[in-house]
Structure formats: C-alpha cells, structure tokens
Copies of this chain bind each other. A is one copy, B any other.
C-alpha cells in the first residue's frame, strides 16, 4: 500500500478524556500502539466516535499530534476536520495537514439548509486548501444536509477528493453512488451500512468505531472479504452484529469507551451531554464482547 492509498481497517479512534474534558495523552498513545500491533491498516482520529463535534481546536490539535507521533509512520493517519463554517474548515484542514497527517476526513454537521451548490462549494474549498487526499464523510442521521449523487459527481473534479465514507444505512443510495461513481471515488464503509455488503460491491475498507474494541475481528472480516470468501465473511458479519444493536440501544461513543475500559484502556467517559454507559448497558456490552472473543 502506497502512503497515500488507504485500504483496510481504520479504527475511528475514541478521544480519551478525563472528567473535565482534558485529553489523556498517554492513554491515546497506548491505544494507538495497541491497535497498530493488532494489525489495523490505518487510524482515523476525530471522527464521530472521536466526538469531534464536541471538541475545541486545542484538544483536536493535540489529539492529532499524539496520534501522528505514536503511529510514527507505521500506518497512515487520516484525521477528521469537523467544522460547520467554510472558513473554519479551511483553516482547520490546513493546520491539520501541517501536523503531518496522511489524509483528511471532512465532517460538516450543518445548521441552516444547504443547496447542492453550497455543499459543493464548501467541500471544494476545503479540498483546495490542502494537498493530501480527502475522504468525504456524511452521516445524514446527525446532520442537517446530505450529499446527492449529483453533488458527489461534481466534487470528483477535485483531484484530491479520492474517498467517500457514506454512513447512511440507505443501501439503495449507496448502490446508486457505487454504480455511478465507483470507478472514481473509493468507498469506505461505516458500520451501519454493513461492511460485508460494502465490501461485496467494492468498498476498499472500513472506517469503524467498533474496530477500536474489536480490531482483530474487524480485520478478519476484511480479509475474508478481500479473499472473496463471502460466506465466511457473512458469518463473521452476523456474529459481530449484536455489537451494533447495542450501539443503537445505548449510544455509540459510550459503548466504545466502556468497551475499551473493560479491555484495560482508561479512556474515560464520553463528553457531556453524552452520558456514560449505565450498569445495564455495561452488562449487555460485556456479554456481547465475550461472545465475539473481544474480552
């Protein structure tokens, strides 16, 4: 894999924080080292699971620095840039690139409604602000806008817009994107879109919150898919699915952080207003992780 060709399992890193919201740098460094030793193919700090929409720039900058330093070139780092303003996103993207990342993942929660024209202008401007590869990210459940196929098509004019992580779970729309733009945009699966299926239609990898707690199992699924052992991959996917049901029921970052605590990484609670997993949630999660072989 070339330095700028991303492929495989990229854990969506949690951001370890103490009760006051301060970065726990050593825990983050340890987690990065642990995941690389387990075999992940890259790292994505500051995505949804990384609680990027809740963090200020100082915490985000320090997070990137720690991840880049700990990864030490062993795997590519694709860091999230999360900003609703175009000026802010441009500035964050440029500063993020300077910190030594290999790529950028763009998030934009949004507020007022946006036309395709405005969406395209925003991401075009961010892409032009850096020279590294851009992974477009969209999660319509938590945003006030979404990419149309037409907007994505226009954005492929930008030579460094190379990847898309489309977290919608709307499998028909994903098929339309893949059949229309799959030759030009490489697709990363999220979890809710079911990676098994995304691999089958050509996804190059999986940017995944769960991969923080089940890195080995995620790699196993990716490799079965890479070798076109689809029935084996389907069994692995089904076996892992109860973890997703838990995310739906108890909230994503609370589950991942609680799972990592069970595995010995004191990553702390999610940032309020999110809340820590309660006793019932911990019980359910622990049982699922045991069944999957992750505890």
Q: Which among A6-14, A35-43, A53-61, A213-221 touches the partner chain?
A: A53-61
A residues contacting B by CB (< 8 A) are 20-21, 48, 53-56, 84-88, 108-109, 111-115, 117-119, 121-122, 125, 142, 144, 169-173, 175-176, 178-179, 192-194, 196-197, 200-202, 228, 230-231, 234, 237-238, 241-242, 244-245, 248, 251-253, 271-275
Residue pair B112, A252 in contact (C-beta under 8 Å): yes
Residue pair B113, A251 in contact (C-beta under 8 Å): yes
Residue of B nearest to A242 (CB): B179
- Copies of this protein in the assembly total 4
Q: Which residues of B contact A53 (CB under 8 A)?
A: 84, 111
Residue pair B170, A273 in contact (C-beta under 8 Å): no
A–B Cβ pairs within 8 angstroms, 27 of them: A21-B85, A48-B111, A54-B84, A54-B85, A55-B85, A56-B85, A84-B109, A85-B271, A85-B272, A86-B273, A109-B109, A112-B251, A117-B275, A121-B273, A125-B272, A142-B144, A169-B172, A172-B194, A172-B248, A175-B241, A176-B241, A176-B244, A179-B245, A194-B197, A201-B237, A201-B238, A228-B230
Residue pair A274, B118 in contact (C-beta under 8 Å): yes
Residue pair B271, A86 in contact (C-beta under 8 Å): yes
Query: A172-B192, A194-B171, A194-B197 in contact; A274/B112 too (CB < 8 A)?
Result: yes
